Amino acid sequence: MLFVLLVIVFTCLYYYGVRTFDYWKKKGVKHDPPLPYFGNNLKQFMQQASMCMMATEVYKKYPEEKVVGFYRGTSPELVVRDPEIIKRVLVTDFNCFYARGFNPHKKVIEPLLKNVFFADGDLWKLIRQRFTPAFSTGKLKAMFPLITERAEKLQVLAEDIVDEEYYDVRELMARYTTDFIGVCGFGINMDTMSDDNSQFRRLGKRIFERNFRDGVCGALKLMFPELCKNLTLLSPELEISMVKLVQSVLRDRNYKPSGRNDFIDLMLELKEKGKIIGESIESRNPDGSKKIVELEMDDLLMTAQAFVFFGAGFETSSTASSYTLHQLAFNPDCQKKVQQEIDTVLAKYNNKLTYEAVKEMHYLEMAFYEAMRMYPSVGYLIRECTVPEYTIPEINLTINEGVKLMIPMQAIHKDEKYFRDPENFDPERFQDGAKEDIKNFVFLPFGEGPRACVGARLGQMQSMAGIAALLHKFSVEPAACSLKNLLPEPTGIVSEGFIGGLPLKLRRR
């Protein structure tokens, strides 16, 4: 009797773990055979490969397909390989794919994930419409003196380490970007430039560190979504730290704008305006008109925005700028061109980094774009189908609500079908005349469409300013331990990293 019971139990458990695995087979979509519960995602669950690495692997394995099936746990996903379908998902039919789908439980969302990056539906739309003005040209110009000040501090820090055998430029640029985000986001001198072990640098590292607890919780939420809906993707210590940080800043300002014109001030101004009101993207009135929805800007919602501004603001920019430096170290002819341009432009501005000066550094921008092509800070995009059924006309494939689409940007950026000699660092790809030949929707370092990165210009400006400041005084070259072909960090989730960092040797010019 006990044996029969065990057989029944294990049979039920088995079928629960494979219940969805006929989805792509029925639709005639090619895919690898999935494993019970794990699907095709075992290596990510075991922290042996990041989401970006998994997407790249699938992309390369099926070179003739426009789309490829994938199972993340028991959930069917679609890896999109075709630029026309990518355009449809990100832009043309955005209203059918407005969700990122990072929150499997629409009604149980972690407080810190209620931000403009992770939020979906009306929550995302209302936050986005109010925060877009924070990154206007006028705002960028107004905050650029803060970038200049931090860039000058970066030069001082570089002088302190120039005699060392090597230094991890990934960490160097993270200290620079963290310091900038601290002052322009919170009005706080985080002191990460002089103290590499400051509490803010530790907090920044923890946001993107994926330890055993984080890996287990993430896997369980995907494999057993209903049973594990109260598990958090983020460590509780992050919520405690961010709430404490934001509350201390709010108290210092007496919960009113201070005149600093930083990110906290912006949110306080939004709060003073009352509820955020706008048209719903999720639902309509019985007569078909767009429903009006509203959102209260409370302290916890402000903390969630501060969290993503802090985390994404320093991490993506430091990854992009440090990888640019890494490529310039291994391509000294390109580095020389960048330095000549920096010297020429800064001479016109009394050797002072200004918004206008950085905007004139066209070859530096080309080098930055080329580095972002080779290693985008965020190597993939995810969108979730938000309508009951959607048919992709290019391939006559119908998918259902809740199915996620993965766009493997890093793999597309390195596809020789779109970029000649993709492993070769060639900034000239992005010079006027040549960049127009790049096919649409195959170069997406900041995403595209209504959910493109809201802070893209700020991130690019602080990255280019940091690179310009460093290369104006110093040159970078490979150290004895530097690797030209880097090893990707398998525990990455959103942003990509490198095993062993990016060690380079600095030399005074």
Q: Which two tokens stand for residue 181?
A: 């985000």
Question: Between the CA of residue 455 and those of 29, 117, 462, what are the distances in Å?
Answer: 36, 11, 11
Q: How many CB atoms lie within 10 A of CB 148?
A: 18
Q: Which two tokens stand for residue 13?
A: 């458990």
> Which of the 8 DSSP states describes residue 105?
-
pLDDT in tens, the chain (509 residues): 777 777 677 778 778 888 999 999 999 999 999 999 899 999 988 889 998 999 999 999 999 999 999 999 899 999 999 999 999 999 999 999 999 987 766 666 788 888 888 888 888 998 888 878 777 888 788 888 888 988 999 999 999 999 999 999 998 998 898 888 888 777 776 655 555 556 666 666 666 666 666 666 666 666 666 666 666 667 777 778 888 888 888 888 888 888 777 788 888 888 888 888 888 888 888 887 888 888 888 888 888 888 888 777 677 888 999 999 999 999 999 999 999 999 999 999 999 999 999 999 999 999 999 999 999 988 999 999 999 999 999 999 999 999 999 999 999 999 999 999 999 999 999 998 677 778 899 999 999 999 998 888 888 999 999 999 999 999 999 999 999 999 888 887 777 788 889 999 999 99
What is the Cα–Cα distance from 186 to 303, expressed in whole angstroms? 11
pLDDT of res. 377: 87
In the annotated binding site for heme, the residues are 453
Q: Name the one residue in this structure whose structure tokens are 């006309």.
A: 393
Q: Which two tokens stand for residue 70?
A: 């994938």
Dihedral angle of Cα 492, 497, 500, 505, to the nearest 10 degrees: -170
Biggest CA pair distance of the chain: 88
The H or E element containing residue 405 is: strand 404-407
What is the Cα–Cα distance from 242 to 63, expressed in whole angstroms? 44
Question: Between the CA of residue 495 and those of 53, 117, 220, 259, 320, what are the distances in Å?
Answer: 12, 13, 21, 33, 10
Q: Is 295 helix (H, G, I), strand (E, B) or coil?
A: strand
Write down all domains in the chain, each with its CATH number in brackets: 36-508 (1.10.630.10)
Q: Name the one residue in this structure whose structure tokens are 């072990």.
A: 197
What is the Cα–Cα distance from 499 to 43, expressed in whole angstroms? 17
Rg of the chain over all Cα atoms, to the nearest angstrom: 24
Strands 404-407 and 75-80: parallel
pTM of the model: 0.90
pLDDT of res. 165: 94
Q: Is 28 helix (H, G, I), strand (E, B) or coil?
A: coil
In the annotated binding site, the residues are 453
The single-letter code of the amino acid at 72 is: R
pLDDT of res. 412: 96
